[in-house]
Structure 1
Amino acid sequence: MSILVTNKNETSQSELTEQQKLALQRYIDRIPIREGHLSQLYVKTPFEVDEPERVNARKAMLDNRDNLSLERLIGNNDLFPLHYLEKGLRVAKSICRIVIKDGNGRNEGFGTGFMVAPNLLLTNNHVLPDKDYALSSRAQFNYEVDENFNPRTVQEFQLSPNQLYITNKDLDYTLVAIQGMSAEGVDIQEFGFLPLIKQTGKALLGEYVSIIQHPKGDFKAVVLRENQITDILDNFIHYSADTEPGSSGSTVFNDQWQVIALHHSSVPDPNHDGQFIANEGVRVSSILADIDTQKSVLTNAQRELLSKVGGEGASADSSPSSVQSNDDDESVVAESFALERFEQMSGYDPKFLGNSFAVPLPDLRDDLMQDAAPLIRGGGHILNYTHFSIVMSKSRRLAFYTVVNIDGKQLKGNIGRSDKWRFDPRIDQQFQIGNELYKNNPLDRGHLVRRRDPIWGTDAIAVVANEDTFHFTNCSPQHEQLNQGKNLWLGLEDHILNHVQNMNMKATVFTGPVFRDKDKAYRGIKLPEEFWKVVVVVMEDGKLDAVAFLLSQKELISNLEAAAIAPFRTFQVKISSIEALTGLSFGTLRMNDPLEAIEMTTDSLPIERVEDIRL
């Protein structure tokens, strides 16, 4: 058993011994079978030793872009792409130390747990055996040291067993709800979650696994591929691994960083006290099957909490190596909101900057108006969300433009990512691009209205605004280097938002792609080569100021199958140039553009740093 006990009572101690006895008995019962497996593995590969059905399932889960995955699995090659370590760091974010406390708040020991849904934590039954222990105990994320051996800032969360608590002593698991905010005000969504996959075949006999744990309740650590699976039972797997007390509830991963088991017990050596001959984990497929049997007695709210556990987002086809906290899970499409949700949304406010500084929506050229996607229930073509609005192109299935109001005084910094992308039910789905464009390539679902920009006002409004930004209407295919580049598009957006927030200013920001007939098609979608942005603020002198920017990703998307190394830069351009490129008309707004008032020898000014912006 691998819970670290500091002050457990006798009953709990006997339960720990009981788990170890059961694990040992299973181990002894399987000696002839296991020895047969091991003797075969000396001369054969896991593909030749394990059951054909499991072998076929395992092969289907391998990423065909990794041409060494089969070689590693059969033990002929130990080379990994460097991003293997990056993915390991990402999945580790969702793993926490559990501080076990009694009803009086006294520490009784430590365990490990991990997030398996946006608000659900999985650990062992012997770590959190009942609701009372769950109520008193705490989950600590970031309990680890950085590369300089300095402790990171720990975020401690309370558990919410009254919201959901499911446990099974025989399978030694507990699934419990966790509160949304830490004591320091950090959202639990910042730590993502690890998808659980129902399908069997995530690992084979003889395959090597990795375990991320809190050994002895200490800083987070990993046992990396030194642990061979020696036996696979109906509900458990046996493996050789280095685990310490405190690692109960740890995650057992395969080479793709898929969770294959919940570590729960060491197998004691019957001939030598205090020594162990193997470790045992509970199979994820068995845990999910048991959870399904308990759903009938749950409330609708509890079943909703469980909807992400082993559900659509946890298929074998999803991105298994990614924590589901960013846009990494390319297969998840959340259910569309009801139409009634949008009825009271007024969207972008043209008079947001003041009655004397009204900034109307841009006009579309006549041919573009014919291409604007209409609302299904009538009433025009403007999609209004919380603090922003969007107009969609039918032919390109992307936004002509987006526009958002930003209030620097009321911005919220404690709203976590939603990461639930969904279609907007107000326009026909055929005019929207889903996840099919973004799988297995370097294209990001780039937010046009940046996620943080409309998140202001009351907490309730900010949560809705956050969800609104994750509609497919608000994303456009952007190369990952452009979308994530701190010195480029993202850096510009950071500068705008930070300036507005630091100065307690208001701002209006228009964003969109440049559509050209010659844009190259990829998977049936023409990819925009350029994106533009127009920022409007009222300066300290009481004058309206508007600036425009343009960024090209032409070289980046020229060959999406090759590594992108081409340079790309941000330019400040005239608003009239944006109008000419897009077919939009901003009316008199161009008169407030400082570049319109000066003679220029070029059409654009390169932006190397924020000081280069002309105001």
Structure 2
Amino acid sequence: MSHLSNHDLPRLKKNLAGRQEHNSLKRYIERTREREYIAAKLSTHSPIEVDTSYRVAVRKTLINPRDGLSMKRIIGESDLLPVSYMQAGMKASKSVCRIEIRDSVGRVLGHGTGFLIAPCLLLTNHHILECEEAAQFSLAQFSYEVDLNLMPLQIKSFRFVPEHLFITDAKLDFTVVALENDSAEGTTLSEFGFLPLYPESGKALLGESISIIQHPSGAPKVVAVREKKIIDVYDDFINYTSGILPGASGSPVFNDEWVTIALHHTGVPDPDDSSKYIVNEGVRISSIMKYLNRLKPTLLEEQQVLLDSIFAGSELANYDRNPMVIGNLDMEWYERSAGYDAIFLGENYAVPLPTLRPDLRRDVAKLTNGKTVLDYTHFSIVMSKSRRLAYYTAVNIDGGHLVSVPRARKWYYDSRLNRKYQCGPELYNNNDIDRGHLVRRRDPVWGSLAKKANEDTFHFTNCSPQHKNFNQMIWLDLENYILSNTETYNLKVTVFTGPVFREDDVLYRGVKIPAEFWKIAIMVKRDGNLSVTAYLQTQKNLIRDLDFAFGSYKTYQVAVSNIEILTGLDFGDLRNYDPFRTITAVTGDIEPAIVNVINIPSDIRI
């Protein structure tokens, strides 16, 4: 790392910002004819008629069908928003922080804005944090804002740890950098959540209104709500109408679903008056995601794991809001599906599929060929006849060879299994139940068969009914946390997942809705021993009645033996490698004394 003097940093930042303004003006001038054409079309047509068909299709998938006015807002026929819009905006704002740029002796050199995009990763502009040394001395300050009485909240300051991860690019003017997990005041970073990033293009359309949360000139946090409109889209940048306060660089730009569409980085200067700006410019999130995906293979393994949390993060908010489309796959599709590999972790670490109690074995749904295990690409499933849901899923995850693949657009019945044993649209349509993936979409998506594995996860056999407010943030983050905090055997992990079936589960549309879900993760530690951790999460408070009342959820780390008692599954020797193996359970209930409540990933005992 080259050393920068205290006088170099402000000069360098000024030069970088000036260069960004110059480049933005050049792009703006070059696009004059295209922009005039777009403006003319938008004057007589709606955004969905002006933008490309692909971008319109992607934008529609982000619309919640329960929001009947969403499309009218996009095409400009209505400005009405549900009251929950403000609540969603407040949630998004928690992840936005002020960056205080300091030198090596602690002097403040300037300010910018940044926002969390993963549990410990922040996104801002290159011209704010252009090198590791600049990040090393600077701070990310959360809660720099005022309350309902316009009184300042206590600032929570976190240090950057660029030695863990620091990625920057001057052309796209972005920097991704790691943050410490705990502030000097004892606050954990997880309290501020993060803004999931979507890799697809089309998260907002030409002419659509946008919002920006920012710390202009280092001031307390403010928001520009739907004041600006997108007037042009380039390959890597977007233009939106002017009026944003100077110094808001590094701010997230949102569509009406509070999905981040761009990283604000500069204004386009007026060539006739240097004190004014014509329009503003943001860096497209899809371009940043493409850059990170291309860079990933060149990083160290532990850095790749950190970067994976960004792509996994996008999955958290991307639950299935779009109308269900049913596809068809013939028997030939499944012919070469090898399914779960019991020796995936190594010849000496065989992890066979669990066995079921005799009464449960009689309830297993058989395939048309008489077998009992549905094999897909890198994962397998065993189904219950009576519940029409999976008893369990088993997946092999190769963290070193994950591939980024767009979400599938269709859901499938498995033609190898009688449809009467599969829950389809009759359960999931027109209600508050989401199709919750048991094998998470990205887990088996690795290697040369990544695209096929991605499609395979969209089988009805691989989903279980979950309430739309069933917050899976920590649930989905468990595997990423384990991978990043354990020195694993070739970054491989095997995961079993499934529901807990109880006789008193709520009956809805002829299906008993599981109130609890479990997960068991297995890997090889550096010392050559297996690590086996088990988890249980409940949505019980969310499904007390058919109106699906709001409620809280809890995630627990429990003993493998508890999962065996609750499910009737036998995981053999795995219980011997469980950190809770010294604890014995004698009933089917989870005793408070033998559980570990998971509020943040670092609560996990490995």
**Normalised-by-shorter TM-score class:** 0.5 to 0.7
Q: How many corresponding residue pairs?
A: 413
Call closer, same or farther: CA 1:52–1:313 in 2, change over 3 Å.
closer
Q: Which residue of structure 2 aligns with residue 527 of structure 1?
A: 513
Between the aligned partners of 1:366 and 1:515, the Cα distance in structure 2 is 21
Distance 1:271 1:82, change over 3 A: same
In 1, Cα distance between equivalents of 2:12 and 2:149:
42
Q: Partners in 1 of 2:115 and 2:153 — Cα distance?
A: 18
CA distance in 2, matches of 1:555, 1:13: 55
Alignment-derived partner of residue 185 in structure 1: 186
Structure 1 distance, partners of 2:153, 2:261, is: 28
Residues 86-133 of structure 1 deviation map (CA, whole Å, 9 limit, x = unaligned) = 111111111111000112221110001011111111000000010000
Quick check: 2:173–2:265 contact (8 Å CA) kept in 1? yes
**2: CA distance between counterparts of 1:165 and 1:552?**
41
Q: Distance in 1 between matches of 2:203 and 2:239?
A: 14
1:297 aligns with 2:298: yes
2:231 corresponding residue in structure 1: 230
Q: What is the Cα deviation at residue 59 of structure 1? A: 2.1
Distance 1:552 1:210 in 2: 35
CA contact (8 A) 1:160 1:179 kept: yes
Counterparts of residues 93-242 of structure 1 (less than 5 Å): 93-242=94-243
Structure 2 CA distance for aligned equivalents of residues 528 and 220 of structure 1: 42
How big is the shift at 1:273?
2.5
Query: What's the CA shift string for 1:29-70, capped at 9, x where partnerless?
Result: 111211221122111111111222222222232222211111
Q: Classify 1:196/1:555 alpha carbon distance in 2 versus 1 (closer, same or farther; 3 Å).
A: closer
Alpha-carbon distance in 1 for matches of 2:133, 2:542: 58
- Tell me which stretches of 4 or more aligned residues in structure 1 moved more than 4 Å: 5-8, 365-372, 393-399, 420-425, 432-435, 442-448, 470-473, 551-556
Identity of aligned residues (%): 39
- In structure 2, relative to structure 1, the CA distance for the partners of 1:7 and 1:77 (3 Å cut) is farther
2:265 corresponding residue in structure 1: 264
Give me the whole-angstrom Cα distance separating, in 2, the residues matched to 1:243 and 1:266.
8
Q: Take 2:272 and 2:281, find their aligned partners in 1: how far apart are those partners? A: 18
Would you say the 8 A contact 1:99–1:140 is kept in 2?
A: yes
Call closer, same or farther: CA 1:280–1:442 in 2, change over 3 Å.
Answer: closer
Q: Paired residue for 2:504?
A: 515
Aligned-pair RMSD on alpha carbons? 4.7
Instruction: Please list, as runs of the form range in 1=range in 2, the aligned pairs for 1:587-598 lying within 5 A after superposition.
Output: none
The answer to whether the 8 A contact 1:6-1:107 is kept is: no
For 2:242 and 2:7, locate their aligned partners in 1 and report how far apart those are by CA, in whole Å: 23
SS in 2 for 1:302: helix
Q: Tell me what 1:437 maps to.
A: 465
Does the 8 A contact of 2:390 with 2:462 survive in 1?
Answer: no
CA distance in 1, matches of 2:540, 2:135: 52
2:577 aligned partner: none
CA distance in 1, matches of 2:363, 2:158: 49
Secondary structure in structure 2 of the residue aligned to 1:275: strand
Runs of at least 5 residues in structure 1 that lack an aligned partner in the other structure: 321-335, 344-364, 373-392, 400-419, 452-459, 462-469, 477-511, 531-550, 567-585, 589-615
8 Å CA contact 2:249–2:265 kept in 1: the answer is yes
Q: Secondary structure at the match of 2:141?
A: strand
Instruction: Give, in whole Å, the separation in 2 of the partners of 1:529 and 1:12.
Output: 53
Please state how far the C-alpha of 1:183 moved relative to its aligned partner. Answer: 0.9
Residue in structure 2 matched with residue 318 of structure 1 by the alignment: 319
Cα deviation, residue 394, structure 1? 10
Question: Which residue type is aligned with residue 246 of structure 1?
Answer: G
TM superposition score normalised by structure 1: 0.58
Indicate yes or no: 2:269 matched with 1:282. no
CA contact (8 A) 1:223 1:241 kept: no
Give the aligned residue type for 2:157. E
Q: Secondary structure of 1:273's partner?
A: strand
CA–CA separation in structure 2 for the residues paired with 1:148 and 1:6: 40
Deviations 1:142-201 (A, max 9, x none): 111111112222211111111111100011000111111111122211211111111101
| Deviation string, structure 1 residues 381-414 (Cα, Å, up to 9, x no partner) | xxxxxxxxxxxx9966799xxxxxxxxxxxxxxx
Whichever residue aligns with residue 245 of structure 1, its letter is P
Q: Which moved more, 1:124-133 or 1:47-56?
A: 47-56
The 2-side partners of 1:370 and 1:10 are apart by: 74
By how many angstroms is 1:311 displaced?
4.2
For 1:433 and 1:445, locate their aligned partners in 2 and report how far apart those are by CA, in whole Å. Answer: 20
Contact 1:54-1:200 within 8 A present in 2 as well? yes
Find the counterpart in structure 2 of residue 492 from structure 1. Answer: none
Residue 117 of structure 2 aligns with an amino acid whose one-letter code is V
For 1:163, what is the secondary structure of its paired residue?
A: coil
What does residue 18 of structure 1 align with?
A: 19
User: Is the alpha carbon distance of 1:108 and 1:422 closer, same or farther for their aligned partners in structure 2, counting shifts above 3 Å?
Assistant: farther
Asked if 1 retains the 8 angstrom alpha-carbon contact of 2:242 and 2:277, the reply is no
